[in-house]
């Protein structure tokens, strides 16, 4: 006889864990399943380990920027890659076991293996059938298929984060978050880095002006950033790889010791056999209603990157996991709200954004003013010897509400949270401008940005 549950969560990352915890707290019989080590992308293969590498690269960069400005040393600082990887693993190594213990302590059953639907309320895991009143799809995302010859030779971002030694020459295919962040780390660790982006700009979701400022800084690091370049194939040539691409100057061939897929991710749905559960998809994404529930199978909900409803960010996944749980428990009483969710690209310096850009505000017919400045001469930038510093802030004329904020600079990853709070709470620019912040800090620049 199949084991019976009230909730089976497919995945053990932020979204699945949040939903499982809430439903178990309500007295439900709950189980989770994952074919990968327990813990999910953020803790094991994404945000957390990546930020450890970024932190080391930022420390190196800060030291180098201040060379000749009162900072002396016997030698140019360098990254010890094997040592950095050991430090990174001190954050990740114990996560799977700790996660499994946490589930057990909470009375949540945990299964290892790939889940596959066998019916509207049933899945098979390693030959065992599990039935559940509700099933939450929180399987995360995987690199999208590129449809190029030699695609199987590409390394993933997970592979990069687990490199025991850093290759001398790295090519990144794609120009989004993954390429920008990992390229900045690799370049500062001494690798020769090339980024190939098919469109005419990188980091498409972010403000074009600030991206252009960041790209200047990126190229100044020695990163070979090529836009308008299509990758045609990847092949092996002995111990190296050969990347063939077509760019503005025609066809070109690039040798590399490592080629990394950084061209985007899609929900990890294919192995689930969704048709067996009557779960409909649209263009590779789950067809969900506003309550994160499948439109074709009311027993199935989704959250996190697998749901692909809000920004693909860990805090969003956790909140949506709790919303899905509440809807299962109480009967579709909550809908996710993505107003004022900030995004950060952890380059050095970081690029951050929240709210609307000029195009979106214009398309909505809003009347707004824009305060924009490239400000390397401001104290915040000068004291860090950082040349890439600037902002763009949109304020609605009629209400004085902040519509959007776009920041580039040393403190952007923190200051953006204040703008996010202002947008979410509908604060007027005057209110934020009149606030008294500690000085000198990145936040103390806000009044001059408005």
End-to-end CA distance of the chain: 65
Coil, strand or helix at 208? helix
* Nearest CA-CA partner of 114 in 312, 274, 331, 271: 271
Q: What is the mean pLDDT of the chain?
A: 96
Per residue in 388-427, pLDDT (tens digit) is: 999 999 999 999 999 999 999 999 999 999 999 999 999 9
Name 193's bridge partners.
170
Which helix (H) or strand (E) covers residue 424, if one does?
helix 412-424
Looking at the predicted structure, is the pLDDT value of residue 75 above 80? no
CA distance linking residue 286 with residue 278, whole number of Å: 11
Looking at the predicted structure, is the pLDDT value of residue 322 above 90? yes
CATH 3.30.390.30 residue spans of the chain: 343-449
Coil, strand or helix at 347? coil
Query: Quick one: tokens of 74?
Result: 């016997």
343-449 CATH pick, 3.30.390.30, 2.70.98.60, 3.40.50.300, 3.40.50.1980:
3.30.390.30
- Predicted local confidence at residue 71, as pLDDT: 83
- Predicted local confidence at residue 197, as pLDDT: 97
Q: Where residue 68 falls among pLDDT bands split at 50, 70, 90?
A: confident
CA distance linking residue 300 with residue 309, whole number of Å: 15
Query: Quick one: tokens of 224?
Result: 């070979």
Using the 8-state DSSP alphabet, how is residue 205 labeled?
T
* Nearest CA-CA partner of 133 in 318, 290, 298, 303: 298
| Contact by Cβ (8 Å): 416, 353 | yes
Per residue in 331-375, pLDDT (tens digit) is: 999 999 999 999 999 999 999 999 999 999 999 999 999 999 999
Mean pLDDT of 207-220: 97
* Nearest CA-CA partner of 419 in 346, 360, 352, 357: 352
Query: Quick one: tokens of 315?
Result: 């805090």
Per residue in 11-33, pLDDT (tens digit) is: 999 999 999 999 999 999 999 99
Question: How many residues are there in the chain?
Answer: 450
CA distance linking residue 178 with residue 54, whole number of Å: 12
151-263 CATH pick, 3.30.70.1520, 2.60.40.10, 3.30.530.20, 3.50.50.60:
3.50.50.60
Mean pLDDT of 368-386: 97
Q: Where residue 2 falls among pLDDT bands split at 50, 70, 90?
A: confident
| Contact by Cβ (8 Å): 159, 289 | no
CATH of domain 3-143+266-330: 3.50.50.60
- Predicted local confidence at residue 256, as pLDDT: 97
CA distance linking residue 350 with residue 433, whole number of Å: 23
Task: List Cβ neighbours of 102 (8 Å cut-off, separation of 6 or more).
Answer: none
CA distance linking residue 77 with residue 127, whole number of Å: 53
- Distances 286 to 18, 34, 278, 297 between C-alpha atoms, Å: 20, 19, 11, 11
CA distance linking residue 193 with residue 179, whole number of Å: 10
CA distance linking residue 390 with residue 412, whole number of Å: 9
Looking at the predicted structure, is the pLDDT value of residue 72 above 80? no
Looking at the predicted structure, is the pLDDT value of residue 74 above 90? no
Q: Over pLDDT 90: what percentage of the chain? A: 96
Using the 8-state DSSP alphabet, how is residue 349 labeled?
S
Task: List Cβ neighbours of 94 (8 Å cut-off, separation of 6 or more).
Answer: none
CA distance linking residue 439 with residue 161, whole number of Å: 37
CA distance linking residue 260 with residue 169, whole number of Å: 11
At 24, give phi and psi (nearest 5°): -65, -40
- Predicted local confidence at residue 77, as pLDDT: 80
Looking at the predicted structure, is the pLDDT value of residue 248 above 90? yes
In this predicted model, which residue has the larger pLDDT, 2 or 380? 380
CATH 3.50.50.60 residue spans of the chain: 3-143+266-330, 151-263
Mean pLDDT of 263-291: 97
Q: Over pLDDT 70: what percentage of the chain? A: 99
Looking at the predicted structure, is the pLDDT value of residue 117 above 60? yes
Query: Quick one: tokens of 255?
Result: 């040798």
At 262, give phi and psi (nearest 5°): -135, 35
Looking at the predicted structure, is the pLDDT value of residue 96 above 70? yes
Could you write out the DSSP letters of every residue in 315-346?
A: HHHHHHHHHHHHHHHHTS------TT--EEE-
Per residue in 279-309, pLDDT (tens digit) is: 999 999 999 999 999 999 999 999 999 999 9
Name 245's bridge partners.
231, 252
Q: Where residue 73 falls among pLDDT bands split at 50, 70, 90?
A: low
Per residue in 127-159, pLDDT (tens digit) is: 999 999 999 999 999 999 999 999 999 999 999
């Amino acid at each position: 006889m199949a084991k019976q549950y009230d909730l089976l969560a497919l995945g053990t990352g932020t979204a699945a864990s949040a939903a499982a915890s809430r439903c178990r707290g309500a007295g439900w019989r709950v189980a989770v399943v994952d074919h990968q080590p327990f813990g999910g992308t953020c803790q094991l293969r994404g945000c957390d380990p990546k930020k450890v590498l970024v932190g080391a690269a930022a420390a190196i960069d800060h030291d180098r920027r201040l060379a000749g400005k009162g900072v002396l040393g016997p030698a140019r600082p360098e990254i010890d890659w094997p040592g950095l990887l050991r430090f990174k693993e001190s954050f990740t190594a114990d996560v799977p076991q700790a996660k499994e213990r946490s589930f057990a302590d909470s009375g949540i059953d945990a299964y290892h293996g790939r889940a596959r639907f066998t019916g509207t309320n049933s899945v098979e895991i390693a030959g065992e059938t599990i039935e559940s009143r509700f099933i939450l799809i929180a399987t995360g995302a995987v690199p999208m298929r590129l449809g190029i010859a030699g695609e199987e030779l590409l390394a993933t971002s997970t592979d990069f984060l687990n490199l025991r030694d850093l290759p001398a020459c790295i090519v990144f295919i794609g120009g989004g978050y993954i390429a920008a962040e990992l390229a900045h780390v690799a370049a500062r660790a001494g690798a020769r880095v090339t980024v190939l982006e098919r469109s005419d700009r990188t980091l498409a979701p972010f403000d074009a002006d600030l991206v252009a400022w960041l790209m200047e800084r990126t190229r100044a690091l020695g990163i070979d950033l090529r836009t308008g370049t299509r990758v045609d194939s990847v092949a092996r040539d002995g111990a190296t790889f050969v990347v063939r691409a077509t760019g503005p100057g025609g066809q070109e061939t690039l040798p590399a010791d490592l080629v990394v897929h950084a061209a985007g991710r899609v929900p990890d749905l294919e192995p689930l056999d969704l048709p067996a559960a009557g779960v409909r998809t649209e263009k590779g994404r789950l067809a969900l209603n506003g309550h994160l529930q499948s439109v074709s199978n009311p027993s199935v909900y989704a959250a996190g990157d697998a749901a692909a409803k809000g920004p693909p960010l860990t805090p969003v996944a956790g909140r949506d996991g709790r919303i899905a749980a509440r809807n299962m428990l109480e009967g579709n009483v909550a809908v996710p709200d993505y107003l004022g969710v900030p995004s950060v690209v952890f380059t050095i310096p970081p690029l951050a954004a929240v709210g609307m850009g000029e195009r979106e505000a214009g398309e909505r017919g809003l009347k707004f003013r824009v305060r924009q400045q490239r400000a390397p001469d401001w104290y915040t930038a000068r004291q860090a010897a950082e040349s890439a510093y600037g902002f763009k802030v949109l304020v609605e004329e009629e209400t004085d509400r902040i519509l959007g904020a776009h920041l580039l600079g040393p403190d952007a990853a923190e200051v953006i949270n204040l703008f996010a709070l202002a947008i979410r709470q509908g604060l007027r620019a005057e209110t934020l401008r009149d606030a008294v912040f500690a000085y000198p800090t990145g936040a103390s620049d806000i009044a001059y940005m408005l």
